[in-house]
Amino acid sequence: MSEIKVSHQSTALVLNTETLGIEITAHGETWRSEKTYQPHFYVNDKKIYFHQAGKLEHFSWNTGVGCGIRSVFSGFHLSGKEDTLSFQTVIWIEYATEDIFFELNPLTESEQCIGNFYWPGQMEFRKKTSDWYTVITNRQGLLIPNDWKYDAGKIVFDGQMCSAGAFMPWFGQVRSGAAYIGIVCDPWDAGYQVEHPEESDYCHVSVRWLPSLGKLSYKRTIKYRFLKDADYNDLCKVYRAYAKENALLVTLKEKAAKNPVVDKFIGSAIVHTGIKTHVSPDSFYYDKEHPEKNDEVIPFAVREAQMRKLKEQGLEKVYLHLDGWGNPGYDNQHPDYLPACEEAGGWEGMRSLSKSMKEMNYIFAIHDQYRDYYFDAKTYDPEFSMISPEGKKPDFCRWAGGWQTYICASQSPLYLRRNFTELFRQGIQLEGTYLDVFTCNEPDECAHPWHTMTRKECLEYRKKCFDFLNANEIIASSEETIDWAVPSLVTAHYSPYSFMVEEKGSTLGVSVPLFNLVYHDCMVVPWMMDADQLEGDYMLYALLNGGAAYLNCEAEGKELEKEIERYRTVAQLQEKVAYSEMVRHEFLDGNYKKQRTVFADGTEVTVDLEAGAYQIHQN
């Protein structure tokens, strides 16, 4: 067996030049690549192994900042002939931090469209015990103990970075206090996969690199930090420091300094309601059995009266999120959504609601959409729809508006400015806007020659939309909390645990607030206030996370009084801790039902999900 070894201080790495496996020693602990793993990539759905390179060379890598091993791969035979593809990998130890960097760098591109690269592979992680566990950032976060049983037989999860599958671009593993975190430094073209078969003694997790417009294109980097005497809280704090260093960690205090509406928003009751519903007959959601349910209009005046009723009930802070305010109805004809719904009172009715919200010192916010591109939109033009590197245009009819495709995100800021210029001209006073799907769906890429766009550029265009709102002192919001958008967002529709939104999500692992352990003091997270037979009262999750509460404005009488009482319980705590970092979360029992969070101001929240009880200790 041939090996190359490099070391610095207490950290050492070994490359097996035959298997391309890695061994890393840090803090007296040794971590190894899984023995069955072989680095590979795909071309036209065919798996190509790194060791199939016609030429493979290894070199030492010594610079002023680190030492490591460089390997060059070339001479691949693809489609029956030698291809131009060549690339190098560099694995090196950074002197300053002892972090291990894995870099995949193209030297010459292939003549063909390249698929995913799977390198570096999963760590060997075999022991059937609960104190060996994997953490992934799917939604708020999941902890998967090595002895976790999943009722579907096995856990197989594929997530894409910069989407709901990974609110933050990292994963980690902990084994009896020894731990590592893998931070994907170029997350827009990356994903990860998890595998944990039933009755197995292991859980595997690793990164994959997606092509950019069919090419490897640029250097891809993931860095690993190894820790001792650590748990998932420590991994979150490592990433929090990384986020701060990379200008992702922008706190609510900083946002409030630029826009005073942020402070006004803290402690608000979140009211989510709508005006017009229209479901197209070709939509997935069309109700054939009850066609009358596919169309509904609630006048702006009705919503205005409901807001005044909340004021009469003594609510000082309300954030109204209004769906379906445009003439076509909710999720119809985007981006040509104007004017205001004429059946509900038109611009005059919407202006009246806006004016009343201002008088009551409530926050008026609207839903909007700049990804779905409906075929019946007035200005629909197929030349501005998104096209894949293979020349394909997606088209489907799932949502209420029927047949659609996606608009290239390069056009989104332009349409948003067009529409909001008209909203302003009509005297609609907005203090909040929700731009749908931007923070839950993966970034898009577009190969149309008029507006070619990488996934990274897609995120930049989406961010431009948020920043337009911020420049006009409008609180920017989107569907879910997501790492890349934290600097531009104040809130989101939600930041749920997997079990709240995914079928069988609760059985994938143990829900844990990884996102809030990093970003609690950077975003306001609203929480549903429902009760779940298996998972308990959702209000307890709102309290545990120091978040905001939804309130049902349709409730009447005693039901409304109960809604308001529960909201006030959550809001009182939120106003105390909104600007404080969540410094720690812990499970207090073996079945994960008793949990505690600690905030930087000393506030401690303990919940018992089985008993439906909570305790709040404040300094």
- Please write the tens of the pLDDT for every residue from 480-537: 999 999 999 999 999 999 888 876 556 788 999 999 999 999 999 999 998 765 677 8
If you write DSSP's letter for every residue of 292-350 in order, what string do you get?
GGGEEE--HHHHHHHHHHHHHTT---EEEEEES-BTT-TT-STT---SB-GGGTHHHHH
Are the beta carbons of 137 and 516 closer than 8 angstroms? Answer: no
Rounded (10°) angle between helices 300-312 and 346-359: 10
Convert the pLDDT of each residue in 259-273 to its tens digit.
Answer: 999 999 999 999 999
Convert the pLDDT of each residue in 51-86 to its tens digit.
Answer: 999 999 999 999 999 999 999 999 999 877 889 999
Please tell me the predicted confidence (pLDDT) of residue 165.
92
Please tell me the predicted confidence (pLDDT) of residue 130.
85
Q: How confident is the model at residue 599 (pLDDT cuts 50, 70, 90)?
A: very high
Structure tokens at 168: 């933050």
**Encoded amino acid at 534, one letter:** L
Q: How confident is the model at residue 417 (pLDDT cuts 50, 70, 90)?
A: very high
Please tell me the predicted confidence (pLDDT) of residue 109.
95
Query: Interior CA angle at 561 toward 560 and 564, to 5°?
Result: 85
Q: Sort 614 into a burial class: Cβ within 10 Å, 0-12 / 13-18 / 19+.
A: middle
Which residues, 6 or more positions from 106, have their beta carbon under 8 angstroms from its beta carbon? 86, 87, 215, 216, 217, 218, 219
The mean per-residue pLDDT over the stretch 322-338 comes to 97
The mean per-residue pLDDT over the stretch 550-572 comes to 93
- Is the pLDDT at 154 greater than 70? The verdict is no
- Is the pLDDT at 127 greater than 90? The verdict is no
Convert the pLDDT of each residue in 8-66 to its tens digit.
Answer: 999 999 999 999 999 999 999 999 999 999 999 999 889 999 999 999 999 999 999 99
Q: How confident is the model at residue 243 (pLDDT cuts 50, 70, 90)?
A: very high
- Is the pLDDT at 204 greater than 80? The verdict is yes
Pairing of β 531-532 and β 295-297:
unpaired
Q: What phi, psi does 56 have (nearest 5°)?
A: -135, 125
Tell me 480's DSSP state.
E
3-state secondary structure of 73: strand
The mean per-residue pLDDT over the stretch 114-138 comes to 93
How far, in Å, CA of 482 to CA of 339, rounded?
A: 31
Share of the chain above pLDDT 90, in %: 86
In whole numbers, what is the pLDDT of the chain averaged over residues? 94
Measured between alpha carbons, how far is residue 590 from residues 107, 131, 145, 175, 613 in Å? 51, 11, 12, 17, 17
Q: How confident is the model at residue 153 (pLDDT cuts 50, 70, 90)?
A: low
Convert the pLDDT of each residue in 430-441 to its tens digit.
Answer: 999 999 999 999
The mean per-residue pLDDT over the stretch 385-391 comes to 91
Convert the pLDDT of each residue in 270-308 to its tens digit.
Answer: 999 999 999 999 999 999 999 999 999 999 999 999 999
Are the beta carbons of 90 and 69 closer than 8 angstroms? Answer: yes
- Comparing CA positions, the residue from 22, 18, 23 lying closest to residue 50 is 18
Please tell me the predicted confidence (pLDDT) of residue 416.
98
The mean per-residue pLDDT over the stretch 364-381 comes to 97
Rounded (10°) angle between helices 412-425 and 455-471: 20
The DSSP bridge partners found for residue 175 are 132, 178
Please tell me the predicted confidence (pLDDT) of residue 531.
74
- Is the pLDDT at 399 greater than 80? The verdict is yes
Please tell me the predicted confidence (pLDDT) of residue 86.
96
